[in-house]
Amino acid sequence: MDGLDDLRGKYLNGIGTAATEAALEDLRLAALGKKGEVAGLMRELGRMTPEERQTMGPALNALKDEIDAALRAKKAALGDMALNERLRSEWLDVTLPARPRRLGSIHPVSQVMEECTALFADMGFAVAEGPQVETDWYNFDALNIVPEHPARQEHDTFFMHRAEGDTRPPHVLRTHTSPVQIRAMQSQGAPIRIIAPGRVYRMDMDQTHTPMFHQIEGLAIDRDISMANLKWVLEEFFSAYFGTKVKTRFRASHFPFTEPGAEVDIQCSWSGGSLKVGEGDGWLEVLGSGMVHPSVLRAGGIDPDQWQGFAFGMGIDRMAMLKYGIPDLRAFFESDLRWLRHYGFSALDMPSVHAG
Ligand code: PHE
């Protein structure tokens, strides 16, 4: 039995001083494993006399249980220690103020698109979309623009490259948002009230032109829509957009897809070298418009004897420059962070038709 006391002392000591779970596992194998010391003694029980076995058997079992319990207790203690150590070393002060981070800003064009969308939505116009890479049928033919028309010539329009033998119809980067008129007619039929904001492309680059710019198309089709409705909608829109009553002037003009067509100017003053919208006796051209040409209605699958309507196309970049006093169009697309921070809007500065 003295041998057992030695064994007990040896293992309980070892367990007491073990510092890692791996060390504990080594001790478990050495004592209780198949080839361990306690297991070895148990195998010897078979060679003992019944009397010896009667005392030795229970003693060995007790020793085995004791070592096993010590191993478990120590394992739990080591786990607690590891957790405490992590809690101590990974402590962090959640009450510290956060590091300041630069927030991005909303581009003036995005802001103005949102503003315009909200204002037209208030008048019952839904948003429609079309692709920026458009077939020449949607961009030109369906809009009554004949192949000889100057707007179709290479110097204005970006044509998509076609490999030799590629027989797909020609595609272009849309030169205006007007093809969305046709797509809306085809997909929803009359009556229609939509606006279509988006990017358009023309080969043009100077102080007031960039090869990509933005337009908003408007289209209203119903039984008896007239130029008077167009004028009301636009005056209502400009006054809400600029926050002041804005007069408009319609000048007869020609677009292949309207009959009649008109260019629209808004009232402004140039006094003191700065431009002010809604006052004075100057005029500034801001959009093209007109009654939708019967051939265009027909191309969109709408019967021109039953339905009529107006359409307009307005430059959004110009609208942003006018409202927010931004002098140079090209800066819009240069991604200069200082410019963006100066002219950009906070993400929380959401346009609302109820403001001001
Ligand atoms: N699509 C014309 C342009 O880009 C604008 C326009 C739209 C004119 C609708 C009349 C009617 O210049």
Q: Which of 139, 178, 195, 250 gets mutated to test ligand 1 (max ligand atoms within 8 A of its CB)?
A: 178
- Mean pLDDT, range 11-28, rounded to an integer: 91
Say how far apart CA 348 and CA 253 lie, in whole Å: 41
What are the sequence ranges of the domains in the chain?
A: 2-89, 108-343
Does the CA dihedral 69-73-74-76 come out positive or negative?
positive
- Of the pLDDT bands very low, low, confident and very high (cuts 50, 70, 90), residue 243 is very high
Atom of ligand 1 nearest to the CA of 312: 9
Ligand 1 centroid to Cα of residue 199, in Å, is: 14
Give the number of C-alpha atoms closer than 13 A to the C-alpha of residue 329, restricted to the C-beta side.
17
The three-state secondary structure class of 142 is: helix
Strand pairing category for 282-292 and 276-277: unpaired
The three-state secondary structure class of 343 is: helix
- Mean pLDDT, range 220-225, rounded to an integer: 97
Q: Which of 255, 314, 316 gets mutated to test ligand 1 (max ligand atoms within 8 A of its CB)?
A: 255
At 163, phi and psi to the nearest 5?
-70, 160
E runs forming strands in the chain: 126-127, 133-135, 171-173, 192-201, 212-222, 248-253, 258-269, 276-277, 282-292, 308-315
DSSP annotation of 287 reads E
Burial of 332 (0-12, 13-18, 19+ CB in 10 A): buried
- The alpha carbons of the chain give a radius of gyration, in whole angstroms, of 41
- Mean pLDDT, range 264-283, rounded to an integer: 87
What pTM does this model have? 0.72
Query: What is the fold of 108-343?
Result: BirA Bifunctional Protein; domain 2 (3.30.930)
Q: Which residue has the higher pLDDT, 218 or 151?
A: 218
Ligand 1 centroid to Cα of residue 257, in Å, is: 8
Does the CA dihedral 129-133-138-143 come out positive or negative?
positive
Q: Is 228 left (phi over 0), alpha (psi -120 to 50) or beta?
A: alpha
Ligand 1 centroid to Cα of residue 288, in Å, is: 5
Highest mean pLDDT among 46-55, 192-201, 336-345: 192-201
Least confident residue range of 123-132, 145-154, 307-316: 145-154
Q: What is the pLDDT of residue 356?
A: 42
Q: Does the pLDDT value for residue 140 go beyond 50? A: yes
- Of the pLDDT bands very low, low, confident and very high (cuts 50, 70, 90), residue 355 is very low
Query: For every residue of 42-85, which 3-state class applies, written as one string?
Result: HHHHHHCCHHHHHHHHHHHHHHHHHHHHHHHHHHHHHHHHHHHH
Q: Which residue has the higher pLDDT, 280 or 120?
A: 120
**Residue 243, C-beta contacts closer than 8 angstroms, at least 6 positions apart:** 356
Q: What is the pLDDT of residue 308?
A: 98
- Mean pLDDT, range 7-30, rounded to an integer: 91
Ligand 1 near 238 CB (within 6 A): no
